[in-house]
Structure 1
Amino acid sequence: MRPADALLHVLRDEGVTKVFGNPGTTELPLVDALVDADGVDYVLGVHEGSVVAMADGYARATGRPAFVSLHVAAGLANGLIGLLNASRSRTPLVVVAGQQDRRHLVQDPMLSGDLVGLARSAVKQVFDVRHAHDLPLLLRRAFALAVQPPAGPVFLSVPMDLLAEDVQVEMPARSVIAAQGPASRLDEAVALLKGARDPVIVAGDGVGRDGAVAELVRLAEALGAEVFHQPMADGVDFPTTHPLHAGGLPPSHAGIREALSGHDLVFVVGCHAFTPHHYTPGSPIPDGTRVLQLDPDPAELGRNFAVELGLTGAIRSTVDELAHRLRGARTDVAARVDVVSRQVRARCDAVDRAALAAYGPAPMAPLAAAHAVAAGLPPDAVVVEEAITTGVHLRTVLRQSRPRSYVHTVGGGLGFGIGAAIGTRMGDPTRPVVAVLGDGCAMFGLQGLWSAARYGVPVTFVVMNNGEYRTLKDTLDSWDGRAARAGQYPGLDLGSLDFTRAAGFFDIDAVRVGDTADLVDVIAKSARRTAPLLVDVPITGHPRGAAE
């Protein structure tokens, strides 16, 4: 079997049916081989940032590694932001970039570069494929590594002449690897949870990735423990409709410490070190609070704070066993659930009242716009969120119980949302997808609309349009520095943007909503959509120094 055919054979054997890419000369041997490749389709993106984002959303929706093809050093550099996001979000990707022809690499030909060096800091593992007979084995290795804890993208540099060689290579069989089992020392964990006066759970994104939401619900109910989502969570790791759901932790150590204060034990499940954003001094763990931590990656245990007990094992089977052992073990559960559920309901009611009071014509308050989106969502919809200011509000008003109903990247690299929404819908076409995007974020990934139009992907793209980088203005205000005192914010205004015209360029239907009722109505129709739609939502800007 020749190298290019061997590559496609491995892809089919690994369950890959789509290649997400943007080709150049170094990918032409792959493009040529795809002509006769039954069962493997090429999904074209017109910018590598969109390509990687589509693959990220697709991998999450399918639960399998996605395959990405990038073009030499320049294409890899364009895709790095998506690879950084995938690494942070633990998304399994296998990424191949075509290197220049080996026969003149020493002459530093056009487009060549240190691909392995470029990729190394953005991915989990890199491979420099130098011989045709190594390609199938290294591809097998890449697919295996991509899903091993911690999951993430794996990169291979493959010279174009290697793929085109007229040589026969051996094909290694696919290995069957047993899944990770429950953690050990569960008797000690049960004793800690049973003996705690006021336990609390932090649900990390590992819970959602491991399909352990139902098991964590049973554990929380057995303990009567309130549950926080990790800061800026990437998915539904605990139902936000549940009476024990206490919301998301803030992305700072001081905020986390305040939220967890009063609890004598915190059970951290599948969470990458709390991922703070803004610096605040001190530990995220309150003084005197003990920590029980569970993660499939042993490197996470005790990584940033001391733990009473660290458990390494599969999240779903471990939490299931803990829930089974703790069922009926505590006598205070009913009273605890009653207290927490009252607090949760009061908080949710207050947010809903504030949002509804702000309903009205455009430009809308960000909270009202977020609430209108949440109110209109079909029950089975998936929300892909990349709206920095409005996204914070959206998290407080979304009521989602079904796993994989929320997609975000804690990586923070902008331009993710449009491509991720397309990949999400391609990966699971049975569920409507609504992408909630900030106008600045949308500008980073606008090229992805070409792919939505080309493949007729029925995503509802909702752009929250305030014509500025409001989150940065708000942060400057919190510093009370010169910008806030003068009401001047250099470099933070985008001006008046009409996203319906951008949609028209890509031949995508668009509408600009006039009020919150219009927004609720257009979101409610997303379940019946058969083609992409862009919704331009004018929202209010920063109260001082707003966009012109």
Structure 2
Amino acid sequence: MTPMDALLEILRDEGVTRIFGNPGTTELPLLDALTKAPDLEYVLAVQEASAVAMADGYARATGRPAFVSLHIAAGLANGLIGLLNAKRSRTPLVVAAGQQDRRHLVEDPMLGGDLVGLARAASKQAVEVTHARDLPIVLRRAFALAAQPPEGPVFVAVPMDLLREDVEVEVPPRTPVAPLGAATRLDEAARLLAGASAPAIVAGDGVGRDDAVAELVALAERLDALVYHHPMHDRLNFPFTHPLHRGMIPPRNASVREALTGHDVVFVVGAHAFSPHHYTPGSPIPSGTRVMQLDDDATELGRNFPVELGLVGGIRATLAELVALSGFVTPRGGAPVSQPRPVTSAPSPVPLDPAVAARAIAAGLPPDAVVLDEAITVGIHLRPLLRLDRPGSFVHTVGGGLGWGVGGAVGTRMAQERPVVAVLGDGCAMFGLQGLWSAARYQVPVLFLVMNNGEYRTLKDTLAESYGPGPHPGLDLGGRDWTKAAEFFGVAARRATDDADLRVLVASVGSLTAPLLVDVPLH
């Protein structure tokens, strides 16, 4: 078959049904081929960062690599923020970009450039195909590598003339890879846990990625171990409603150390070290605490702090074995998990206090909803109030690249029938505004809540804490009417009037048949 036929055949064989992209001249051969491939839907974004964000949300929800098509050097540069987020959040993506025609690359043609050099730091691997016969094996490798721990984006540059070559290429069959089995030395691990008088578990995103929430719950209950979510976790890795859940540890070594003080044994499961954000001196591990760590990526073990026992293996398989090896201990009890405050009968009019807005959102959420969080300051208020217990109910990116939320929510909802509530800071939403065009184009029923405080609140708070009160430059966005922005892109919009109104809007997300943006004015 031809190189283009091989590309499409491999996409089908790898389970791809949607191609997320923004096209240019170097992608025209692909667009022409897709006219004869109705089983492969091209999902158009009007900016490359939105395309990658949509693919990111889609890949997380489906659990398999998503495919993205970007346009040459400039388009790849626009999409780099999405690749950085995907790499940090370990989202499996195969990202392709068209390269200029090889016959005049030596002339430094317009739009051409070092695509591999651009993509290298933001991906697990970056390669450029130079011969048509190599395209099938390069694509097979890309899909395999994207899904191999640590999961992440793999970049492939494909010259446009290569896809138009009328030559025969062979497509290697897909190689099924068995999932990782349980780690070794589990008898020793079970003894370490059984000997703990006050064990704790840190639940990292590897738990959610490997669909191991039920196994972690079973182990925590057998050990009567308190469970902390990893700092700024991207997923639901332990039910927020469980009595043993103690919430998220703040992303500072001092906060981790404080939370873990008093625990004699700490089991770190599927976590990327502790990912501190603000510097505080000292180790995250309290003196004298024994640490055991489990990950499917051997490079994580002992990465930032020494561990007594490091386990490499499939997280779900290993936890299941540990459950079988662990006996029940007598529950010690403890403080109940935090509950959302009841909503008072007297509504608070807008602009709302951020904590009031967070309570309204948490109170209104339907049981089957997925919360996507890209609201930095409101998100800190919201996380402790969420009553989420189903796997896949929480989506975030620890990558820190702003603008991911709009596209991420669209891709999340495209992949499943569960209602999606995207809680977005207005500063974050500014970076990803173009994603609303795709939401409208494909009538994706996401509820976008824009937390409109007209400023970079988290920076103001940090500056005030570290340097004293301002005013400081570069932190004010000014009042913006987000309903007008939504309407420009074809998305229905309205402004919340009070916290009761916001709660009702969140509660009705399951009845949406098209996207809706709600402007939520905040103090």
Bin for the TM-score computed over the shorter chain: over 0.9
Q: Does 1:301 align with 2:288?
A: no
Q: Does 1:344 align with 2:348?
A: no
AA matched with 2:60: R
User: Hey, what's the Cα distance between the residues in 2 that align with 1:132 and 1:508?
Assistant: 43
Match of 1:526 in 2: 509
User: Hey, what's the Cα distance between the residues in 2 that align with 1:422 and 1:477?
Assistant: 35
Structure 1 residue 508: Cα displacement: 1.1
Q: Which has the higher helix share?
A: 1
Structure 1 residue 38: Cα displacement: 3.2
Q: Give the 3 Å change call, closer, same or farther, for CA 327–358 of structure 1 in structure 2.
A: farther
Match of 1:103 in 2: 103
User: Hey, what's the Cα distance between the residues in 2 that align with 1:506 and 1:46?
Assistant: 11
Structure 1 residue 321: Cα displacement: 1.0
Structure 1 residue 325: Cα displacement: 1.2
Q: Does 1:453 align with 2:440?
A: yes
Deviation readout 1:362-402 (Å, 9 max, x if unpaired): 11111110111111111101111100000111101101000
Q: Does 1:425 align with 2:417?
A: no
User: Hey, what's the Cα distance between the residues in 2 that align with 1:225 and 1:358?
Assistant: 40
Deviation readout 1:177-231 (Å, 9 max, x if unpaired): 1111000000110010000121100000000000000000000000001100000
Match of 2:275 in 1: 275
Structure 1 residue 489: Cα displacement: 1.9
Q: Give the 3 Å change call, closer, same or farther, for CA 418–358 of structure 1 in structure 2.
A: farther
Deviation readout 1:53-75 (Å, 9 max, x if unpaired): 00000001111100000000000
Tell me if the contact between 1:358 and 1:368 (Cα under 8 Å) persists in the aligned partners.
no
Q: Does 1:372 align with 2:360?
A: yes
Q: Give the 3 Å change call, closer, same or farther, for CA 59–358 of structure 1 in structure 2.
A: farther
User: Hey, what's the Cα distance between the residues in 1 that align with 2:266 and 2:42?
Assistant: 46
Structure 1 residue 443: Cα displacement: 0.4
Tell me if the contact between 2:373 and 2:405 (Cα under 8 Å) persists in the aligned partners.
yes
Match of 2:464 in 1: 477
Match of 1:516 in 2: 499
Deviation readout 1:122-159 (Å, 9 max, x if unpaired): 00111111000100111001000001000000000110
Tell me if the contact between 2:187 and 2:325 (Cα under 8 Å) persists in the aligned partners.
no
User: Hey, what's the Cα distance between the residues in 1 that align with 2:354 and 2:235?
Assistant: 21
User: Hey, what's the Cα distance between the residues in 1 that align with 2:293 and 2:518?
Assistant: 42
User: Hey, what's the Cα distance between the residues in 2 that align with 1:501 and 1:135?
Assistant: 45
Match of 1:400 in 2: 388
Q: Percent identity?
A: 68
User: Is the partner of 2:157 in helix, strand or coil?
Assistant: strand
Match of 1:37 in 2: 37
Q: Give the 3 Å change call, closer, same or farther, for CA 291–19 of structure 1 in structure 2.
A: same
User: Is the partner of 2:158 in helix, strand or coil?
Assistant: strand
Q: Does 1:462 align with 2:449?
A: yes
User: Hey, what's the Cα distance between the residues in 2 that align with 1:424 and 1:535?
Assistant: 19
User: Hey, what's the Cα distance between the residues in 1 that align with 2:506 and 2:196?
Assistant: 44
User: Is the partner of 2:336 in helix, strand or coil?
Assistant: helix
User: Is the partner of 1:82 in helix, strand or coil?
Assistant: helix
User: Hey, what's the Cα distance between the residues in 2 that align with 1:229 and 1:471?
Assistant: 22
User: Hey, what's the Cα distance between the residues in 2 that align with 1:262 and 1:38?
Assistant: 59
User: Hey, what's the Cα distance between the residues in 1 that align with 2:263 and 2:176?
Assistant: 43
User: Is the partner of 1:440 in helix, strand or coil?
Assistant: helix
User: Hey, what's the Cα distance between the residues in 1 that align with 2:201 and 2:121?
Assistant: 32
Moved more, 319-328 or 247-256: 319-328
User: Hey, what's the Cα distance between the residues in 2 that align with 1:192 and 1:108?
Assistant: 61
Taking the TM superposition and a 5 Å limit, the aligned residue runs for 1:165-204 are: 165-204=165-204
Q: Once superposed, which parts of structure 1, at least 4 consecutive aligned residues long, lie more than 4 Å away?
A: 355-359
Deviation readout 1:225-284 (Å, 9 max, x if unpaired): 110000001011000000000000110101100110111111000000111111111111
Q: Give the 3 Å change call, closer, same or farther, for CA 68–127 of structure 1 in structure 2.
A: same
AA matched with 2:386: L
Taking the TM superposition and a 5 Å limit, the aligned residue runs for 1:120-159 are: 120-159=120-159
Tell me if the contact between 1:356 and 1:368 (Cα under 8 Å) persists in the aligned partners.
no
AA matched with 2:160: M
Q: Does 1:290 align with 2:273?
A: no
User: Is the partner of 2:508 in helix, strand or coil?
Assistant: helix
AA matched with 2:221: E
Q: Does 1:537 align with 2:520?
A: yes
TM-score by length of 1: 0.94
AA matched with 1:477: A
User: Hey, what's the Cα distance between the residues in 2 that align with 1:432 and 1:327?
Assistant: 39
Tell me if the contact between 1:432 and 1:527 (Cα under 8 Å) persists in the aligned partners.
yes
Match of 2:428 in 1: 441
Match of 2:214 in 1: 214
User: Hey, what's the Cα distance between the residues in 1 that align with 2:78 and 2:99?
Assistant: 15
User: Hey, what's the Cα distance between the residues in 1 that align with 2:97 and 2:327?
Assistant: 51
User: Hey, what's the Cα distance between the residues in 1 that align with 2:484 and 2:327?
Assistant: 57
Tell me if the contact between 2:59 and 2:66 (Cα under 8 Å) persists in the aligned partners.
yes
TM-score by length of 2: 0.99
Q: Does 1:224 align with 2:211?
A: no
User: Is the partner of 1:352 in helix, strand or coil?
Assistant: coil
Tell me if the contact between 1:358 and 1:365 (Cα under 8 Å) persists in the aligned partners.
no
Match of 2:474 in 1: 491
Structure 1 residue 344: Cα displacement: 3.1
Taking the TM superposition and a 5 Å limit, the aligned residue runs for 1:308-347 are: 308-328=308-328, 330=329, 333-334=330-331, 336=332, 338-339=333-334, 343-345=335-337
Structure 1, gaps ≥5 residues long: 541-548
Deviation readout 1:499-525 (Å, 9 max, x if unpaired): 000011011110101100000111111
User: Is the partner of 2:368 in helix, strand or coil?
Assistant: coil
User: Is the partner of 1:344 in helix, strand or coil?
Assistant: coil
User: Is the partner of 2:310 in helix, strand or coil?
Assistant: strand
AA matched with 1:409: T
User: Is the partner of 1:489 in helix, strand or coil?
Assistant: coil
Tell me if the contact between 2:26 and 2:99 (Cα under 8 Å) persists in the aligned partners.
yes
User: Is the partner of 1:19 in helix, strand or coil?
Assistant: strand
Structure 1 residue 52: Cα displacement: 0.2
AA matched with 1:26: T
User: Is the partner of 1:404 in helix, strand or coil?
Assistant: coil
User: Is the partner of 1:247 in helix, strand or coil?
Assistant: strand
Structure 2, gaps ≥5 residues long: none
Tell me if the contact between 2:22 and 2:48 (Cα under 8 Å) persists in the aligned partners.
yes
Structure 1 residue 357: Cα displacement: 10
